[in-house]
Amino acid sequence: MTAQTFRQISAHNLRTFRRNYVSEISGSLGDLGTFLPIAIALAINGTVSLSSTLIFSGLFNILTGLFFGIPLPVQPMKAIAAVAIARSFNNGTIAAAGIFVGACIFVFSVTGLLHWFADVIPIPVIKGIQVGAGLSLVIASCGNILSSLGWVGPSWADNRIWAIAAFVFLVITNVYRKVPYALVVFILGIIFAIIRSALVADLPSLAFWHPYTVVPTPGQWSVGALDAGIGQIPLTTLNSIVAVVHLAGDLIPNVRTPSVTSIGLSVAAMNLVGCWFGAMPVCHGSGGLAAQYRFGARSGSSVIFLGLLKLVIGIFFGESLVGLLKRFPSALLGVMVIAAGLELVSVGESLNTTGARDIMKASFGILGDARQDIAPMLSDADRKRRWTVMMVTVGLLVGFKNDAIGFLAGMLCHVGYELPGLWEKVRNRWNEGRVRLQ
């Protein structure tokens, strides 16, 4: 990055925050519905340090906001977190998993494999991964977070009534977009959590961060890398790097879109540094970007604000926050996750319009005008094929709860549609060769 580019990004961040500081602050909280539940679950089990997680994720928030100028999230590596929670990993094992994935992504980035990977994946498959990730968030929220709620339980501050109220408020803010939904809901949830903590005398106290290092043993390296790390690699590559780059270009076209290589190096650096200090393995994610955009974030200033907030809280309160965050209402968190998922699902709408990057390039090249609703070079059959590839990707991803399976299914479907054309080209070239030989 040149000094001039850095100055341009900084000016954009500052200008956007001055004009829309309420929206930027609200947007910065949009991804907490994903971040908080996983971070709390891992901290309660002693798998990660909550203070180190807050401090290092806060630092990474600040750096990504400064260097990329977009509301790029820093969120948990979900595949690693799921295995770590289910099997009660210790801090050495989860650190090994995060470092292993970070090292693999670093190699992919510096060798150019990530860039090649992004170039060869068809747009319908990428959008299928995004839509599938969005649906997975909605399903996870309804099945794991909201389904356990009763009409008046588990407490006066956390029940179906509050979930319905939060959803109605979400519907209203879909019309009145300037209302800072995430900010209002987060403040309400914190107030409820403080009241519930005060009733049982479990309020946070000053607890300064005491840094320590985690050095995995050979056994922890083996379990972390093989049992959790390998499964995370396709998810990180597809959803946290390739899909993020495309989504950033779709949602925030007025800001320079980061390259696949730069996002890959960012993911690698975060885990090659933070995991050694007991922090949770993290990545960027299209779901988090969609969530922060949905709630008002339009520049890097939003995540810089969030990073500063995490730093202060992590340094001065740290582990004493676990009890408070446990009492944050699931009803409110669940609806925030649903909102993030629906925003991500909506990107599939542009599959067959000039909002899709491959069509947009073709439109500019042929017509010099990409402002039409439907690209004229697509026939009804082309649109149906693209839609089918996307939905195959979505269906298998959601059905198996695995990004890699969805990706492979979408690619097979795409290749199946391309085979007749490839065969025709091969036959024509063969015939041309035979003519020349005569």
Q: Give residue-wise pLDDT tens across range 240-264.
A: 898 899 889 888 988 889 999 999 9
For residue 436, being part of any structural domain is answered with: no
Mean pLDDT of 404-421: 86
Q: How many domains does the chain have?
A: 2
Q: How far apart are CA 392 and CA 414, in angstroms?
A: 10
Task: State phi, psi for 49 to the nearest 5 degrees.
Answer: -90, 125
Please check whether residues 384 and 297 belong to one and the same domain.
Answer: no
Q: Are residues 383 and 255 in the same domain?
A: no
Mean pLDDT of the 420-426 span? 72
pLDDT the model gives residue 345: 82
Q: pTM for the full model?
A: 0.77
Which pLDDT tens digit goes with each residue over 89-114? 899 999 999 999 999 999 999 998 88
List CB contacts of 386: < 8 A, sequence separation 6 or more. 123, 124, 351, 352, 378
* Alpha-carbon distances of 239 from 9, 79, 162, 323, 397, rounded to whole Å: 24, 12, 31, 32, 12
Instruction: Note the pLDDT of residue 283.
Output: 92
Of 330, 348, 366, at which residue does a domain stop?
A: 348
Whether 252 is in a domain gets the answer yes
Kindly provide the residue ranges of all beta strands, DSSP E only, lying in 19-153, ordered along the sequence: 75-76
CB 410 within 8 A of CB 418: no
Same domain flag for 149 and 218: yes
346-370 pLDDT, tens digit per residue, is 777 777 775 566 665 554 443 334 4
Do 409 and 312 lie in a common domain?
Answer: no
CA–CA dist 279, 81 (Å, integer): 12
The answer on 335 and 399 residing in a single domain is no
Residue with the two structure tokens 């390739």: 242
Which pLDDT tens digit goes with each residue over 285-299?
887 898 899 888 999
* Same domain as 151, residue 105: yes
Claim to verify: residue 50 and residue 169 sit in the same structural domain = yes
**How many angstroms separate the CA atoms of 205 and 208, rounded?**
9
b/e 348-376 (16+ beta carbons within 10 angstroms → b): bebbbbbbbbebbebbeeeeeebeeeebe
C-alpha–C-alpha distance, residues 413 and 393, integer Å: 9
Structural tokens at position 276: 């050694």
The answer to whether residue 309 sits within a structural domain is yes
Lowest mean pLDDT among 36-45, 304-313, 404-413: 36-45
Is residue 399 in some structural domain? yes
Nearest to 70 by CA among 27, 103, 119: 27
At 375 the pLDDT is 47
Domain containing residue 208:
6-348
Q: What is the pLDDT of residue 374?
A: 45
**Residues 276 and 397 placed together within one structural domain of the fold:** no
Report the pLDDT value the prediction gives residue 10, as an integer from 0 to 100. Answer: 92
Whole-number pLDDT of residue 220 = 94
- In this structure, the answer to whether residues 278 and 411 fall within a common structural domain is no
Predicted pLDDT of residue 355: 58
Strand partners of residue 155: 158
Give the DSSP per-residue string, 353-380: STTSHHHHHHHHHHTS----SS-TT--H
Whether the pLDDT of residue 8 is over 60: the answer is yes
In whole angstroms, give the CA distance from residue 389 to residue 393. Answer: 6
Q: What is the dihedral of CA 71, 50, 333, 227, to 10 degrees?
A: 90
Statement: residue 323 has pLDDT above 50: yes
Task: Give the pLDDT score at 297.
Answer: 92
Burial of 316 (C-beta count, 10 Å sphere; 0-12/13-18/19+): middle
Q: Give the containing element (helix H, strand E) for 282.
A: strand 282-283
Residue 433: pLDDT band (50, 70, 90) is low
Average pLDDT rounded to a whole number, residues 132-151: 84
Indicate whether 343 and 388 sit together in one domain.
no
Give the pLDDT confidence score for residue 104 in this predicted structure. 95
Highest-pLDDT range among 225-229, 297-301, 394-398? 297-301
254 and 171: one domain? Answer: yes
Least confidently predicted of 72-76, 229-233, 418-422, 425-429: 425-429
